[in-house]
């Protein structure tokens, strides 16, 4: 199991971690297989979506802000229940195949850490099956 660390800078933020993941895969030296990417946090998630235009992940974030309101009758005393809900909706793991040591992503796809309760230090775990 490999670990990648990063720092987020805003409350809600989608950080393109594609090159971080590719670098870790390259360091592992594996040729072909599947890379399992896992978020060990409960107020952040992992998402694959468009990397070409940053407006796309901005729009996904602004939708989630509107859909999951701050003023619901939340019971969790820490006050960050909306972040837990958003993480549950987006999901916490993705899997990407690789060949020739390169992640096989669609033309417009990037891998994003979805931060919903930042800023924080976050970790991503990778398991590589080759």
- The pair phi, psi for residue 96, each rounded to 5°, is -135, 130
Which residues are registered as beta bridge partners of 129?
34
Which residues are registered as beta bridge partners of 128?
35
Q: Which of 3, 14, 33 is nearest to 90 (CA)?
A: 14
Residue 79 in contact with a copy of itself, rule: CB under 8 A: no
Site track for a copy of itself across 97-126, x = CB under 8 A: x-x----xxxxxx---------------x-
Residue 30 in contact with a copy of itself, rule: CB under 8 A: no
Instruction: Candidates 90, 113, 116, 117: give the one binding a copy of itself (CB under 8 A).
Output: 90
Q: Which of 102, 92, 94 is nearest to 22 (CA)?
A: 102
Which residues bind to a copy of itself, rule: CB under 8 A? 1, 34, 36, 38-42, 47-50, 53, 55-56, 58-60, 62-63, 66-68, 72-78, 81, 84-85, 87-97, 99, 104-109, 125, 127, 129
């Amino acid at each position: 199991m490999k670990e990648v660390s990063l720092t987020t800078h805003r409350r809600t933020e989608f950080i393109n971690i594609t090159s971080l993941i590719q670098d870790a895969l390259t360091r592992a030296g594996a040729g072909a297989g599947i890379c399992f990417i896992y978020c060990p946090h409960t107020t952040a998630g992992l998402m694959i979506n468009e990397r070409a235009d940053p407006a796309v992940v901005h729009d996904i974030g602004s939708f989630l802000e509107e859909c999951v309101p701050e003023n619901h009758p939340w019971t969790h005393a820490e006050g960050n229940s909306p972040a837990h809900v958003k993480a549950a909706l987006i999901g916490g793991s993705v899997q990407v195949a690789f060949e020739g040591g390169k992640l096989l992503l669609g033309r417009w796809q990037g891998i994003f850490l979805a931060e919903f309760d930042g800023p924080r230090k976050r970790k991503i775990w990778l398991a590589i099956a080759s």
